[in-house]
Chains A and B, each alone.
Chain A
Amino acid sequence: MASNYYEPEDLADFSNIVEYASDQGNKFFDYYQVSTSAGKLSEREKTLIALTVAMTQNCPYCIDAYTNKCLSLGISEDEMMEAVHVGSSMMAGITLVHSTQMRKIIKKKSM
């Protein structure tokens, strides 16, 4: 067993997730390929979305992969950081909007 839960070289193992369940794994990769390639949205736009999701989900593998992909696409540091703020503010908003449930319960239950 590795000394850390996350090892940087494990990113290269991503393609091996087809092991033990190749049908599902291969179908995932087909879907992943189609979803992240240029379509109505450009490759740059999709890569910034992927980077933002990687940040909000705290995935070190995806952060590594998509920061590098952004650099390769010539996406600037400023653009990447703006995307991070979109994710960050969405996460903050998502947390805060759920206070509605909390506030409704407080108001219903309180005398």
Chain B
Amino acid sequence: MAVSNQLATLNRCPVHFTQKLAGPVYAAEIEVLQLNVGKRCNLFCRHCHVEAGDKREEVMSSDILDLCLKVIRENSSISVVDITGGAPEMNPGIKKFIEQTAKLGRRLIVRSNLAILAESQYSDFTQIYTQNKVEIVASLPDCDENRADRQRGKGFFRKFIQAAKILNENGYGKAESGLVINLVHNPLGAYLPASQKSLEQNYKQSLKNNYDIDFNTLFCINNMPVGRYLDFLLASGNYDEYMFELLQAFNPEALENVMCRTMVSVAWNGSLFDCDFNQMLNMPISSKYSDHISRFDIKKLCRRPIALHNHCYGCTAGAGSSCQGALE
């Protein structure tokens, strides 16, 4: 669906998100630089807000990656570099970027679907991640093969398990190895996830007992009414009910900890956004505060007002939701 139609659909909500707030939401200190290194992906997930796939051509160039590296190097308050996509592994410049960024000693996160690591062309990433102590965040909507494949495509689950086993052998998810792999649960339909604590226990038990797989933490993330998930909500007649559910679950306390306040999100072409969802809805940061990585001004960005719309209910529902899971 075109971005303009997505925004028009999001307007169809009984109470606009901004009406729930006492005033604008401002950014605080920038701790996280999140890079969306491209929309190309080996999977075609039914809930993907990026609408990623193997036909997408938007891929971050090495010039933009170099500019990102420069920004990280010059701004010591950026303690976390968070790489997402698409499948980051499909960006030709990403290996070099990971190696260079790792040397800066910042916390380096890659959001991988893991299934790609089971493909021979990309299997060397298990070593690259291990050698550079990359923190891996991997989506697994369910511990049941059929249910996971229903969202992420046939064959996904087996490849995921195959890659997770290799990463475990390398030390990922094992105590005192210093190698962290966190999993992400997002619902398989038009409902919100249960508590992170409850689901994590279930995931740990199921993956250990059935596949002998270990991981560190489970993050629960609400599905955002953006991209393909918005298409699903509309096609299944669940849109109004889902938005009402998000609205009913609005938690003002979650607003204090939303990630956009301490993060800047860089698009494949270097444009700057408050978050990955705002990227996909083409709601950029104003040029007044820096709108491109080549003009990154951390002092201005720290004072910027966050661009808000009704999809923001997704991050403030219940315990809250962010790229790091529930905000409780």
Contacts and interface: CB of A to CB of B under 8 A. Distances in A.
Contact of A76 (B144, B192, B198): B144
Interface size class for chain B? Answer: 10 to 19
A43 B194 contact: yes
A71 interface: yes
A38 B193 CA distance: 16
A81 B166 CA distance: 36
A72 B147 contact: no
Contacts, number: 32
Majority SS of interface residues in chain B? Answer: loop
A106 interface: no
B147 A38 contact: no
B142 interface: yes
A41 to B, nearest CB: 12
Interface in A13-67: 38, 42-44
Contact of A68 (B191, B198, B199, B202): B191
Contact of A71 (B143, B187, B202, B248): B187
A44 B202 contact: yes
B189 interface: yes
A72 B192 contact: yes
A4 to B, nearest CB: 17
A68 B147 CA distance: 16
B198 A43 contact: yes
Interface string B238-270: 000000000010000000000000000000000
A44 B248 CA distance: 23
Contacts of A43: 194-195, 198
B142 A74 contact: yes
Interface in B83-103: none
Contacts of B142: 74
Contacts of A44: 198, 202
Contacts of A68: 191
In this complex, which of B185, B195, B198 has the most chain A Cβ atoms within 10 angstroms of its Cβ?
A: B198
Contacts of B202: 44, 73-74
A44 B144 CA distance: 16
Contact of A73 (B147, B189, B194): B194
Interface string B197-210: 01101100000000
B144 A72 contact: no
A68 B191 CA distance: 7
Contacts of A69: 194
A2 interface: no
A71 to B, nearest CB: 5
A97 interface: no
A73 B187 contact: no
Contact of A74 (B192, B194, B248): B194
Nearest to A9: B244
A12 B241 CA distance: 12
B262 to A, nearest CB: 28
B318 to A, nearest CB: 10
Q: List 4 A-B pairs, minimum CB-CB distance, nearest first.
A: A72-B194, A73-B194, A43-B198, A71-B191
Given A72-B191, A73-B194, 7 more contacts: A12-B248, A68-B191, A71-B187, A71-B189, A71-B191, A74-B194, A74-B202
Interface of A: 12, 38, 42-44, 68-69, 71-74, 76
